[in-house]
Chain A
Amino acid sequence: MQNQIGAPKGFSLTDPRVRAWLFQIITVLAVISLGWFLFDNTQTNLQHRGITSGFGFLQNSAGFGIAQHLIDYKESDSYARVFLIGLLNTLLVTFIGIILATLLGFVLGVARLSKNWMINKLATVYIEIFRNIPPLLQILFWYFAVFLTLPGPRAAHSILGYFFVSSRGLNMPAAIPAEGVWPFVIAVVIAIVAIVVMSKWATKRFEETGVPFHKFWAGLALIVVIPALSMLIFGVPVHWELAQLQGFNFVGGWVMIPELLALTLALTVYTAAFIAEIVRSGIKSVSHGQTEAAHSLGLRNGPTLRKVIIPQAMRVIIPPLTSQYLNLAKNSSLAAGIGYPEMVSLFAGTVLNQTGQAIEVIAITMSVYLAISISISLLMNWYNKRIALIER
């Protein structure tokens, strides 16, 4: 539309450039006036209701208990600390969910491609069932129909004598730091650094001389041997504290509350169905000619998969996988339906009701999710750029 031959000189309403300017000015004015309209209304409404705006309320004492907190919390702590607890709980669910859903999703995606008819159909049925049921319904189902109907702690199902599943959640042994904990952590860090250095050296040597190096086994040896040495010298890093039944409930150990269990389980099961489809289409997008070419070069099945198929499939898989991770992070807010204390139910629910600071609370909540979304997509974009096809 630019640089039209014979466009009228000077000012004319039929000139596309003039029109573009006018249109943009109108848009900006409309947005500004809409913003001003909303702002002005809000100001008047707040005044009439006697609500003072501002973030000062964050310093006030909360005065209510929270079922699960990863950091220390007392009822007299401030709303700011409540916010932090909600944020950590959201991140916890997202983190566990992403790991489990990725594992399950990849297994299902590969199963969906299996030549074995039975496995193939089982995976298909799983995917078609779980991705067509709303996640909130799945969360409610797991919570109300499964976990809350489990027997109480006294009749808990025991798994190997260390884990106990009951209506109070999953009780498991807790790791209590012992004298060897810091040397152990340092040893692990050293091992990881050593693996990175080794891997770089091996890749460089392979590219220069073509001599392969068993990166995987060497890496495994490093990560096992160095921490094991630290344990021998400085003592064990943790003591295990077992959960024990005392009276009507378990004492000691760690507990995953039923809300957390229901939420992670439902989100994992739901998201895994989508990830499986992404994995399947990613692997199928690599043409069969690639496999044949690799075979004709003398590569066996394993190296063909690792060095030819997966690197190409990953390029197709990563972008939609990222958006599934984002969806999982956003879906963790569905915890509001069962009262798991994360961002939305704790902060946008309880804190909002107690303080009445609607605008500030909702703004904080939304910016947290925006921040999570942006950081996951930045991370994945960086990774995507690294593995993207460099075209000639």
Chain B
Amino acid sequence: MSTHNFKPDMPPPGKVFGPMAWMRNNLFDGWFNTILTLVAVYLIYLIIPPLLEWAIFKASWVGTTQADCSKEGACWVFIIQRFGQFMYGYYPAEFRWRVDLTVWLAIIGVAPLFIAKVPKKGYYGLGFIILYPIIAYFLLHGGAFGLENVATSQWGGLMLTLVIAVVGIAGALPLGILLALGRRSNMPAVKVVCVTFIEFWRGVPLITVLFMSSVMLPLFLPEGMNFDKLLRALIGVILFQSAYVAEVVRGGMQAIPKGQYEAAAAMALGYWRTMGLVILPQALKMVIPGLVNTLIALFKDTSLVIIIGLFDLLNSVKQASADPKWLGMATEGYVFAALVFWIFCFGMSRYSQYLERKLDTGHKR
């Protein structure tokens, strides 16, 4: 008996598989697509090589003054020399470890919440939310426990940007939830107050709100009662942002089926228990991606404090590039600031997309 030998497999036809076929299907599929591809290649050719040349190949990286930079490429020496100012503003150099410690505490403190196996996450999270702001306040501001006082006028750079964004969202969240509850309420007076509040803040730009908080707040308060500039800006940001948070939360509450309300009523739960135990846990979970998007918007909006003279990341860059020792460095400065903002915003938006997939438990219809 002769054994049957299979012939070796033929290679797949090049017209259907492989890189040539892929290009044929995706890039040169008909004359119109071919033209589009060629235009795209030309655009990339126009943009990418000069950009790489400027930013990397002809750029200057080492040195201490503007004289160390060649005129041909980017002068990253400027960024390296002024890095401290961009990160901490005018925060005294000997105390900058306090800012670093605050950031590390936040990272280490939050980390367990992202590990699935940690027990009693709820209690831990609650404790963290209550304790951390107090620790962070004393670390950054000082004035107690032997820590030297650092006035908020010395805060700046990325640190200030983060402070405004984090405090803004942390303050806006509870206020926004209350406003959303008020807007969905059956009581006409409460509803009117909340709708007016929300629509007012959503209708005006943040800049006018900041203007208002810097020139009008001192008029509104009793004489002698005075806040510092940062706190005034924070109040403006929180009020402004709470309106947006309220709309996001309301969206989540509207998506909860009516049966849930009825079931809660059938269990004889009162208003606050219905909301706190049944509706809000579901609604908030559903709107987490929306809240992250609000946070992204807020993070980008923090750059507006430039208008009222706070030195956040963007204003630090603007200030530094107006320095006579470093004239003509505006491009490098803004590119660096854009990169920092971009990394944060892009990271958050990716995270929000990931959450959206993870939390999609089929409530949406």
Closest to A343 in B: B208
Q: Which residues of A contact B334 (CB under 8 A)?
A: 137, 140-141, 144-145
- A175 contacts partner chain B, Cβ-Cβ < 8 Å: no
- B62 contacts partner chain A, Cβ-Cβ < 8 Å: no
Q: Mark out the residues of chain B between 329 and 349 whose CB falls within 8 Å of any chain A CB in the assembled complex.
A: 330-331, 334-335, 337-338, 341-342, 345-346, 349
Interface residue SS majority, chain A: helix
Min Cβ gap A96→B in Å is 18
Min Cβ gap A89→B in Å is 15
- A389 contacts partner chain B, Cβ-Cβ < 8 Å: no
Q: Which residues of B contact A23 (CB under 8 A)?
A: 187, 190
Closest to A122 in B: B40
Q: Mark out the residues of chain A between 343 and 367 whose CB falls within 8 Å of any chain B CB in the assembled complex.
A: 344, 348, 352, 358-359, 362, 365-366
- A27 contacts partner chain B, Cβ-Cβ < 8 Å: yes
User: Provided the pairs A24-B189, A115-B29, A369-B205 are in contact, do residues A137 and B219 lie with their beta carbons within 8 angstroms?
Assistant: no
Q: Is B304's CB under 8 angstroms from A334's CB?
A: yes
Q: Which residues of B contact A336 (CB under 8 A)?
A: 207, 307
Q: Which residues of B contact A118 (CB under 8 A)?
A: 27, 36-37, 40-41
Q: How far is the CA of A118 from the CA of B22 in the complex (A)?
A: 12
User: Provided the pairs A42-B219, A115-B33, A373-B203 are in contact, do residues A337 and B265 lie with their beta carbons within 8 angstroms?
Assistant: no
Min Cβ gap A259→B in Å is 15
> Looking at chain A, what size class is its interface with the partner chain?
35 or more
Q: Is B187's CB under 8 angstroms from A366's CB?
A: no
- B44 contacts partner chain A, Cβ-Cβ < 8 Å: yes
Q: Is A369's CB under 8 angstroms from B300's CB?
A: no
- B12 contacts partner chain A, Cβ-Cβ < 8 Å: no
Instruction: For the complex, count residues of B whose C-beta is within 8 A of A.
Output: 58
Q: Which residues of A contact B321 (CB under 8 A)?
A: 144
User: Provided the pairs A114-B36, A119-B36 are in contact, do residues A140 and B219 lie with their beta carbons within 8 angstroms?
Assistant: no
Closest to A143 in B: B330
- A133 contacts partner chain B, Cβ-Cβ < 8 Å: yes
Q: How far is the CA of A132 from the CA of B350 in the complex (A)?
A: 11
Q: How far is the CA of A127 from the CA of B359 in the complex (A)?
A: 25
Closest to B214 in A: A358
- A370 contacts partner chain B, Cβ-Cβ < 8 Å: yes
Q: Is A362's CB under 8 angstroms from B211's CB?
A: yes
- A11 contacts partner chain B, Cβ-Cβ < 8 Å: no
26 inter-chain pairs at a CB distance below 8 angstroms, sorted by A residue, are A20-B187, A23-B187, A24-B189, A27-B189, A28-B193, A31-B193, A41-B221, A45-B223, A115-B33, A118-B27, A122-B44, A132-B341, A132-B345, A140-B334, A141-B334, A145-B330, A149-B330, A330-B206, A334-B304, A336-B207, A336-B307, A337-B306, A344-B211, A362-B208, A362-B211, A369-B203
Closest CB pairs A-B (n = 4):
A132-B345, A330-B205, A24-B189, A134-B300
Query: Interface of A with B (CB < 8 Å)?
Result: 1-2, 20, 23-25, 27-28, 31, 38, 41-42, 44-46, 48, 114-119, 122, 128-129, 132-138, 140-141, 144-145, 149, 330-331, 333-334, 336-337, 344, 348, 352, 358-359, 362, 365-366, 369-370, 373-374
